[in-house]
């Protein structure tokens, strides 16, 4: 799970426990209070019932917002898409030398020319590779100068260029050939959680504006902000409840089964969600909600036994050499974490090149291991079913016929790879 350091100019820094998963935002739209919602005929083939069976999905309209609700997967019990675990490309094995050694890979991006760009946090650089996996060049390096990084978080394709987000809102724009064009500081007093490119030439960011000062489980609201490619803010288009955090006087950490928010874009559309339930909202470039996709009765209930099992895992992690026990403040914090009644519905959102929505179901620290069945909705918003992602493969980008990500082998070596997606 990837961790973004917390920062607020209004409070002292605290020691951190790494988060077990990523986070990002949701825009809350005003829902109509009337219960008179108009049900529309479903135009999706899989929505049609078979015989007397109820429909698999229903579309209705509320104040101009399309709501697509799925009650069962269109594929039934068998997946109709699959991922070939044999890689089409493995950048850790397509060449020799330091350029093919990776650590802390944050992003794997397919370039317009068929090549691949990798954000390697371990060396604070962007690396570029040919379509065959040969090393082409790099940019970045440690520092705070133009085009340098102190803690790179994310790489995003913007037309034929790349946006690289560093810590605390520093964003660098690189043109073709990794030519550095500019470095922008997007409002340094805001903590940026995520940054995505919109096809209309703007960027949408999720940012913590005000950090709650109380202790316990807190949830800092996150704003959705639009910027142009020169770094100037264009608009504020919404907000979300943000991501849960457990805060004590000594540290801040992800709570047990902490809820989070997610963000992605495809073209000029913005996709946001809060993992409190199995639902995603689709927004236009101005922040207006145009569609809601959901599974109304998706099971997220937790038993006290499941929560206590997760607590025990946190209290008994592998310790580094020379460390015999956890610090008392750590033990006290974990023992004091509340017992939630529900788990997050998902932890990661990716919208693929066809407009299909992929959600990685949430797994606690003690629930890891094995392949992961990602939940997939098609471009019309209907629930198709699940696609199995191989064990120890971290998905970073999904194309029309490939999945880019990082495989971590038995020696903890990172392999940026492209896997074939068979639809």
Give tens-digit pLDDT for 165-214: 998 889 999 999 999 999 999 987 788 899 999 988 999 999 998 888 88
Residues 6+ apart with CB under 8 A from 27: 224, 237, 238, 239, 240, 270, 272, 281, 283, 287, 289
Residue 125 — very low, low, confident or very high, per pLDDT cuts 50/70/90? very high
Residues 6+ apart with CB under 8 A from 69: 57, 58, 59, 60, 294, 295, 296
Do 26 and 283 touch, CB atoms closer than 8 A?
Answer: no
Q: Which residue has the higher pLDDT, 4 or 301?
A: 301
Q: Residue 233: its pLDDT value, please?
A: 94
Among positive and negative, which fits the CA dihedral 343, 204, 195, 130? positive
Edge-to-edge strands, sheet with 414-422: 82-90, 414-422, 402-408, 393-398
The DSSP secondary structure of 58-76, one letter per residue, reads EEEEETTEEEEEESS-TTT
Q: Residue 368: its pLDDT value, please?
A: 79
Helices (H) and strands (E) in the chain, counts: 2, 31
Edge-to-edge strands, sheet with 170-175: 154-158, 161-165, 170-175, 179-185
Hey, what are 76's tokens? 């039934």
Q: Does residue 335 carry a pLDDT above 50?
A: yes
pTM of the model: 0.87
Q: Residue 52: its pLDDT value, please?
A: 62
Residue 95 — very low, low, confident or very high, per pLDDT cuts 50/70/90? very high
Q: What are the tens digits of pLDDT across the range 372-384?
A: 999 999 999 999 9
Domain residue limits, the chain: 16-29+56-422
Largest Cα–Cα separation, the chain = 67
Q: What are the tens digits of pLDDT across the range 71-84?
A: 999 999 888 999 99
Q: Residue 51: its pLDDT value, please?
A: 54
Hey, what are 174's tokens? 């690189």
Measured CA to CA, the distance from residue 172 to residue 358 in angstroms comes to 28
Measured CA to CA, the distance from residue 327 to residue 325 in angstroms comes to 7
- 2-6, 163-167, 286-290, 337-341: range with lowest mean pLDDT: 2-6
Q: Which residues pair with 48 in a beta bridge?
A: none
Overall fold of domain 16-29+56-422: Neuraminidase (2.120.10)
Residue 369 — very low, low, confident or very high, per pLDDT cuts 50/70/90? confident
Question: Region 392-410: what's the mean pLDDT?
Answer: 97
CA nearest neighbour of 403 among 163, 89, 180, 137: 89
Backbone angles phi, psi at 121, to 5 degrees: -65, -30
Measured CA to CA, the distance from residue 345 to residue 386 in angstroms comes to 14
- 28-42, 133-147, 230-244: range with lowest mean pLDDT: 28-42
Residue 120: in which H helix or E strand, if any? strand 116-120
Q: Does residue 22 carry a pLDDT above 70?
A: no
Hey, what are 116's tokens? 């691949």
- 14-28, 129-143, 340-354: range with lowest mean pLDDT: 14-28
Backbone angles phi, psi at 315, to 5 degrees: -85, -5
Q: Which residues pair with 272 in a beta bridge?
A: 263, 281
Q: Residue 31: its pLDDT value, please?
A: 32
Residue 20 — very low, low, confident or very high, per pLDDT cuts 50/70/90? very low
Q: Does residue 312 carry a pLDDT above 50?
A: yes
Q: Does residue 46 carry a pLDDT above 70?
A: no
**Three-class secondary structure of residue 306 per DSSP:** helix
Q: Which residue has the higher pLDDT, 9 or 382?
A: 382
Residue 39 — very low, low, confident or very high, per pLDDT cuts 50/70/90? very low
- 33-47, 141-155, 239-253: range with lowest mean pLDDT: 33-47
Hey, what are 271's tokens? 């996709």
Q: Which residues pair with 205 in a beta bridge?
A: 195, 225
Please state, rounded to an integer, the average pLDDT across all residues of the chain: 88
């Amino acid at each position: 799970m990837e961790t973004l350091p917390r920062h607020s100019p209004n409070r002292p820094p605290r020691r951190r426990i790494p988060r077990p998963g990523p986070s990002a935002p949701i825009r809350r739209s005003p829902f109509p209070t009337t219960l008179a919602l108009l049900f529309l005929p479903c135009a999706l083939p899989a929505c049609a019932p078979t015989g007397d069976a109820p429909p698999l999905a229903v579309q209705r309209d509320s104040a101009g917002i399309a709501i697509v609700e799925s009650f069962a997967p269109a594929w039934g019990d068998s997946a109709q898409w699959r991922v070939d675990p044999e890689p089409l490309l493995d950048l850790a094995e397509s060449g020799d030398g330091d350029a093919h050694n990776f650590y802390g890979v944050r992003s794997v991006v397919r370039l317009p020319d068929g090549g691949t760009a990798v954000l390697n946090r371990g060396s604070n650089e962007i690396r570029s590779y040919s379509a065959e996996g040969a090393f082409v060049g790099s940019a970045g390096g440690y520092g705070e100068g133009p085009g340098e990084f102190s803690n790179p978080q994310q790489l995003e394709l913007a037309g034929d260029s790349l946006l690289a987000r560093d810590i605390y809102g520093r964003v660098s724009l690189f043109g073709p050939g990794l030519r550095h064009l500019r470095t922008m500081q997007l409002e340094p007093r805001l903590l940026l959680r995520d940054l995505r490119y919109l096809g209309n030439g703007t960027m949408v960011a999720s940012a913590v504006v005000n950090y709650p000062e109380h202790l316990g489980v807190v949830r800092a609201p996150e704003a959705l902000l639009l910027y142009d490619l020169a770094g100037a803010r264009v608009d504020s288009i919404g907000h979300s409840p943000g991501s849960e955090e457990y805060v004590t006087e000594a540290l801040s950490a992800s709570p047990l089964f902490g809820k989070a928010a997610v963000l992605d874009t495809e073209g000029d559309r913005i996709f946001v969600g809060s993992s409190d339930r199995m639902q995603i909202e689709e927004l236009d470039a101005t922040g207006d909600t145009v569609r809601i996709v959901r599974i109304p009765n998706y099971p997220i209930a937790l038993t006290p036994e499941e929560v206590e099992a997760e607590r025990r895992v946190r209290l008994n992690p592998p310790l580094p050499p020379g460390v015999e026990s956890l610090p008392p403040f750590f033990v006290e914090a974990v023992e004091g974490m509340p017992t939630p009644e529900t788990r997050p519905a998902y932890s990661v959102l990716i919208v693929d090149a066809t407009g299909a929505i992929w959600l990685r179901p949430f797994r606690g620290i003690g629930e890891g291991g094995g392949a992961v069945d990602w939940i997939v909705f098609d471009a019309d918003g209907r629930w198709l079913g699940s696609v199995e992602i191989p064990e120890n493969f971290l998905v970073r980008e999904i194309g029309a016929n490939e999945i880019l990500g990082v495989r971590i082998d038995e020696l903890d070596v990172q392999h940026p790879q492209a896997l074939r997606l068979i639809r």
